[in-house]
Amino acid sequence: MILRDLGHNLVFSNIIHRPLRTAVSIFGISIGVLLIVFTVGLSNGTMRERARREANTGAEIIFRASGAIGLSGSESFRLKISLADELRKIQGVNKVVPVGQISVSAEDSNVGSRLIDGINFIEYAEIAGLK
């Protein structure tokens, strides 16, 4: 009796008479939603980690090469370390520390790569206030 009443509704009629098509449709939509959620979560986590790294430098100004996006290690070092000496000569500049970053492949990472920072620790400790 209940199934007969449901049969008059087109949506429920299709669900009852074509269960495989219904299951495949639900599965396909679920996969699409999951992929979107995972992609958004991964990109938000990556941006949050990058913002945390850049905020923890303790620097007021970060000097980068032309065309560089963030403190990204996806390209080779484009600025010479000797440029730090020129920046130190500018009036009002207290400290300058060159930082090198490079991205290397890593199997133990969620994104397949790991960002490695290269910095003179003594100079960095002075800027960041580490003891």
pLDDT digits (tens, 9 = 90+) for 1-55: 565 565 567 777 888 888 899 999 999 999 999 999 999 999 998 888 878 877 7
Q: In whole angstroms, give the CA distance from residue 66 to residue 2.
A: 70
DSSP label at residue 100: E
- pLDDT at residue 37, rounded to an integer: 97
Can you tell me which residue has the tokens 């800027």?
127
Looking at the fold, whether 66 and 50 belong to one and the same domain comes out as no
CA separation (Å) from 82 to 61, 62, 95? Answer: 18, 16, 14
- What is the pLDDT confidence band of residue 110, given thresholds at 50, 70 and 90? low
Domain range for 73 is 61-131
Looking at the fold, whether 113 and 70 belong to one and the same domain comes out as yes
Q: Looking at the 3D structure of the chain, how many domains does it have?
A: 2
The count of other CB atoms within 10 Å of the CB of residue 98 is 19
Kindly tell me the sign of the dihedral angle through the C-alpha atoms of 108, 111, 114, 117. Answer: negative
Looking at the fold, whether 88 and 36 belong to one and the same domain comes out as no
pLDDT of 63 strictly over 80: no
Looking at the fold, whether 23 and 45 belong to one and the same domain comes out as yes
Looking at the fold, whether 68 and 125 belong to one and the same domain comes out as yes
Looking at the fold, whether 127 and 75 belong to one and the same domain comes out as yes
Looking at the fold, whether 74 and 112 belong to one and the same domain comes out as yes
pLDDT of 57 strictly over 70: no
